[in-house]
Structures are given as C-alpha cells and as structure tokens.
Amino acid sequence: MALTAERGTLKKAKGPRSFPLAAGVKATKGGIAVLAAGYAKPGVTALNLTAAGMFIETIDNTGGAAGDKRADVEEGEFLFAIASADPVAQADVGSDVFIVDDETIAKTNGANTRSRAGKLTGIEGGQAWVKIGL
C-alpha cells in the first residue's frame, strides 16, 4: 500500500555512534573501526568483521574487559594507506576493498583472510578514499 498523505517518519541523525570496546584493545584516533561480536576494535586481517567507520578519539581498553569502555566511531569517506602487496588503482573505484590493519586497505580479500572495509571512492596521493559505515 502506498502513502496517500504525508507521514512523520522517524530518523536517526547522522553523527558518531558509540560502541562498547572489545577486551584488551586500544582504539586509535583515525584508525579503521570494526565490530566483532558487537564490540568495537581496530581493523585487522581477519574474517567476519564489520567495518563501522573511523575512530574519532583514542581510547585505551588494553587492561579492561569487553564493554568496560566505549569509543565513538564516525561513518563516511576516509583516506587510508594502500597495501603495497595488493594495491588498488583508479580502475578499481566503485569496488569493494578489504581491511589489512587499522590504517591499510587492499584490493582483494587475501584468499579469504580479510573482511570488507567498504567501497573505494578514489585514489589521491598514493592513498585510497574508502566509504565506510554500517
């Protein structure tokens, strides 16, 4: 059934999201933030991670349990390093790219060892613009 009158649809404002941090991790400002079992942690080469965005502050939970601290994560387009062993190029713009670590992306999933980071949106100065978010 289609709308026949205006509707007051609720929406969430765009902005940082707060996630509980995984146990024993340090979230570094500017790094790729991923979710593992619902907890935020820095991006690493691993499967089954969900790229959430970029950490907007440094939070140290290296001595804490899962959820002891929270980190704010921003969605958007961010400039990251390109893995020299698995580089992306201008021709790859619009393609999925994959997480190597919290500051590096690669063209492929590394023979099924890497999680998706997001979409490559451009190349600039030898680095990659990547659109990341939930």
User: Residue 76 — pLDDT band, cuts 50, 70, 90?
Assistant: very high
pLDDT tens by residue, 30-45: 999 999 999 999 999 9
The encoded tokens of residue 102 equal 């919290």
In whole angstroms, what is the distance from residue 60 CA to residue 28 CA? 8
User: Residue 13 — pLDDT band, cuts 50, 70, 90?
Assistant: low
What average pLDDT does the chain have?
95
Which pLDDT belongs to residue 86?
Answer: 98
Q: Which residues contact 105 (CB under 8 A, 6 or more apart)?
A: 32, 80, 81, 82, 83, 88, 97, 98, 99, 117, 120, 128, 130
Domain residue ranges of the chain, discontinuous segments joined by +: 17-74, 76-132
Q: Is the CA virtual torsion 89, 93, 94, 99 positive or negative? A: positive
Tell me if 130 sits within 8 A of 77, measured CB to CB: yes
| Entry pTM | 0.88
Strand partners of residue 51: 34
Taking alpha carbons only, the member of 41, 58, 124, 133 closest to residue 88 is: 124
The encoded tokens of residue 83 equal 């893995």
The encoded tokens of residue 109 equal 């999933």
In whole angstroms, what is the distance from residue 22 CA to residue 97 CA? 24
In whole angstroms, what is the distance from residue 1 CA to residue 122 CA? 40
